[in-house]
Amino acid sequence: MTEDTLRCEIVKFGALLYARGLAHGSAGNLSIRLDDGAILVTPTNSSLGSLTPVKISKVSPAGDLLAGNPPSKEAFFHLAVYEERPSAKAIVHLHSTHAVALSCICHDDSANVLPPLTAYQMMRVGRLPLVPYYRPGDRKLAEAVRRLAGGHKAMLLANHGPIVSGTSLQDAVHSFEELEETAKLFFLVGNRPVSLLTCEAIVELSEAFPS
Ligand code: 13P
C-alpha cells in the first residue's frame, strides 16, 4: 500500500473505533510502520473520530517529525514496540472503558492480568502483562514498554490502557477489540466460579493458530 493509502487507513480505523465508543475525547493513538522504518502516527491531541490524512504525523525511527502535525506524545512507545517486534506493522493504543478498568484494579500476577476465558482471547491477545505506571508521554514509559514488547502482542499500561500490535492496522484493531471484549467478560463474570481454559486447551490453540 502507498503512504497515502496507509494515511487513509488510519483515518478510516480511527473513525470506526470512535463510532464504536472505543475511543473518546482526544485519547488514544494509532500508528503504522512504513517499509523504510519511519512510522505514520496520529497527531497529539487529535480526536480519532475526525482525523485528516495530510495531518497524520510521519516520524523517523529516531523520533524526529518528518511530515504532518506534531505527533502523539506516545510516539516513543510505538517506536519501541516496532523495534522489539519485527512482525509488528501497526499499533492501537486506546483508553477503552473495560480495559482501563482492568488496568486500575490490583493484580496478584503482573505477568498476566487476564485469566484464560476464551479461545479467541488466547488466539488474538495471549498473555497480558501489566506495565508499571508512568505518566503519558514519559520516556520511562516507552522503556518499560520496550522491556515487555518482544514477548507480547498486547500489554496493559497501569492506570492508563492497552497497547496492541498487529501485522496490519486491521489485524491490530481485531486484537484490540478482542481484548476490550474479554475485559468486559472478566467484569461480567465477576466473582462467580469460572471454568477457565485448561493448559492443554491453550497449548492446542497455540499449535493450531500460531501468531
Ligand atoms: P496523544 O494525544 O499525544 O496521542 O495522547 C493521547 C493518549 O492516549 C496518551 O496516552
pLDDT at 76 over 80: yes
CA–centroid distance, residue 186 to ligand 1 (Å): 26
**Using one digit for the tens of pLDDT, what is the confidence trace for 23-50?**
999 999 999 999 999 999 999 999 999 9
Sheet with strand 57-59: strands edge to edge: 65-67, 57-59, 39-41, 29-33, 90-93, 161-166, 154-157, 130-131
Q: Is 3 marked active-site?
A: no
Residue 95 near residue 82, CB atoms below 8 Å: no
Residue 181 beta carbon below 6 angstroms from any ligand 1 atom: no
**Mean pLDDT, range 181-208, rounded to an integer:** 97
Q: Whose alpha carbon is nearest atom 10 of ligand 1?
A: 136
pLDDT in tens, 139-159: 999 999 999 999 999 999 999
Question: Is 68 near ligand 1, meaning CB less than 6 Å away?
Answer: no
Say whether domain 3-208 belongs to CATH 3.40.225.10: yes
